[in-house]
Amino acid sequence: MSNQPLRLAYISGGFPVWALFVAQSQGLFDAHGVQCNITHTGSSAVQMQGLREGRFDVGCQLPDHVVRAGLNGTPLCVLAAQSHAPDVALVASSMIRSLAELKGHRIAVDGARSGYALLLVQLLSSMGLSSNDYQLVEVGDSQQRVQAMRSGEFMASFINPPLDKALVNDGFVRLTTTRQAFPNYPGPVVAARREWADAHPELAKGLQSAWKAAWQWLMNPLNESQAIEIALKHLGAEAPAAQSALQNLHRQGVPHISEEGMAQVIDLVWRNESLDEKPMPQSGSYFWPSN
């Protein structure tokens, strides 16, 4: 095992970080020579600043963050698929019955120009709404956005499973989900600062191996009861939701991030940032080792 700890950060809890807590609780990081220090940032802006300043080596985040970081001078590289694209719900106040009715309202997001906010802008644009028709306000992770929704400050927000269920049970409305609106968009990734990965290839490979082992562990039906215990302890889940989510994972198999998926992400960022004059990078260039 390397004496140097790997500093890993994640933004939001929920089922997308299940493999992370499997790797931690089952000793899989240690088994692959990685001493992993985990930080919950609660905000994509905080996480990206930490990566930019070198306080974190690796981050779990949506893939557009990887593309955007490179544009902003902090090259990141994808080590692994963090999870499948989660079916994140766009939850709204009970008085909102359609996407078009979000006009004139405040919407809580993690980062206003990244992550699901980009997809939300594209979705609302398809409904005929321009950026002047609503206000995106950065609030934080899903748990913070749930609290902000309950306070009445905001009319809508994307909320990670399983946290969306409690809102819907209390009368909030699920307008759509990311899987319904963007069925082919890739899920979150485990990405490192490329400078760090190139300088610490054994740690980067160890993390890749530990992540793969965590997913293999999750796929094993013999580990079901332990996996649900991890979900209850670390993911804010209830047992029925965790059992259903685990069955869904078994159907989907181990997640994968492809060059085709990254190409979709690059296209979304380029259109959102109006980068038509700037040549698009090859999607394979964002992987480590490079594809």
Delineate the domains of the chain, giving CATH numbers in brackets: 6-85+186-286 (3.40.190.10), 89-181 (3.40.190.10)
User: pTM, whole model, 2 decimals?
Assistant: 0.81
Structure tokens at 65: 């963050």
For the stretch 243-279, pLDDT in tens is 999 999 999 999 999 999 999 999 989 988 878 888 9
37 forms beta bridges with 7
Q: What is the DSSP string of 51-106?
A: HHTTS-SEEEE-HHHHHHHHHTT--EEEEEE-SS----EEEE-TT--SGGGGTT-E
How many residues are listed for the chain in this entry? 291
Contact 154, 137 (CB under 8 A): yes
> One-letter amino acid identity for 206?
G
For the stretch 194-224, pLDDT in tens is 999 999 999 999 999 999 999 999 999 999 9
Contacts of 219 (CB under 8 A, 6+ apart): 249, 250, 253, 254
